[in-house]
Amino acid sequence: MPEKKVGRPRGFDREQALNAAVTVFWEKGYDGTSMRDLTDAMGINSPSLYSVFGDKQQLFMAAIDHYSQNFGKSPISAFNDETDIKKAIIAFLETGITEDDSTPEHPKGCFISSCVPTSAGHVEGATEKLQHIIKGADSLFAARFEEEKSRGSLPADFPSEERARLMFDLRQGHVLRARADLPSARIEADLESRANMILSY
């Protein structure tokens, strides 16, 4: 698997360093994070950071992608793993809420929803990343609803796209509450009712 042969071998793990960068950006946002913060957390010097990740902005983009494919993916995975559609919806929302304040070593809320929007419009690429993620979620949920329809577990005229957006939008409220350090207990109690609502027709 390691392709490189010539030259001094790299002394750190790229993915591990990227993980550390995610955590820092997640905590302080793009502009609140300094190169010093990053190199400290990643355990490397800035020349190494620049040679591997480009610059701060490119590292931020890489952090968004990395988060999306790891922490950010688990609510989606929980959704996909449930065969029953109602359970899938609850699993998505529930996993999200749990993730929002899971380990004390991670900041509250979702990195994408809590930190990236601030950068949209003045940090290059941020808006595009957001759009891609939102559209991805919308169409993933909508596709699942369509699948359920073709399977007969949802009525033929169920408004898949509208309810997909609804699911995603609800989640954003949960994220904001978590980021604000408000208790998730009351929201979790709402989940059953909310899933019913998303599916009602």
Burial class (CB in 10 A: 0-12, 13-18, 19+), 33: buried
What does the alpha-carbon distance between residue 191 and residue 201 come to, in Å, rounded to a whole number? 18
36 binds, among a second copy, DNA, none (CB under 5 to 8 A by kind): DNA
Residue 103 interacts with which of DNA, a second copy, none, CB < 5 to 8 Å by class: none
Interface stretch with DNA, choices 5-13, 84-92, 94-102, 125-133 (CB under 7 A): 5-13
Pick from 131, 133, 138: nearest CA to 162: 138
> Per rule CB under 7 A, is residue 2 in the interface with DNA?
no
Question: Which token pair is 157?
Answer: 């005229």
Element (H, E) at 117: helix 111-119
Q: Could you tell me where the DSSP H helices lie in 122-159?
A: 126-151
Contact 91, 82 (CB under 8 A): yes
5 part of the interface to DNA, by CB under 7 A? yes
Determine which residue in the list 68, 80, 118, 139 makes contact with a second copy, applying CB under 8 A.
118
Indicate whether 155 belongs to the interface with a second copy (CB under 8 A). no
Instruction: Determine, following the binding rule CB under 8 A, whether residue 39 of this chain makes contact with a second copy.
Output: no
Neighbours of 85 (CB within 10 A): 19
Of 17 and 154, CB closest to DNA:
17
Which range in 10-18, 78-86, 142-150, 183-191 contacts a second copy by CB under 8 A?
183-191
| Rounded least distance, CB 15 to a second copy, Å | 25
Tell me how far, at minimum, the Cβ of 91 lies from a second copy, in Å.
18
**What gap in Å lies between CA 175 and CA 51, rounded to an integer?**
34
Q: Which of 20, 21, 24, 51 binds DNA (CB under 7 A)?
A: 51
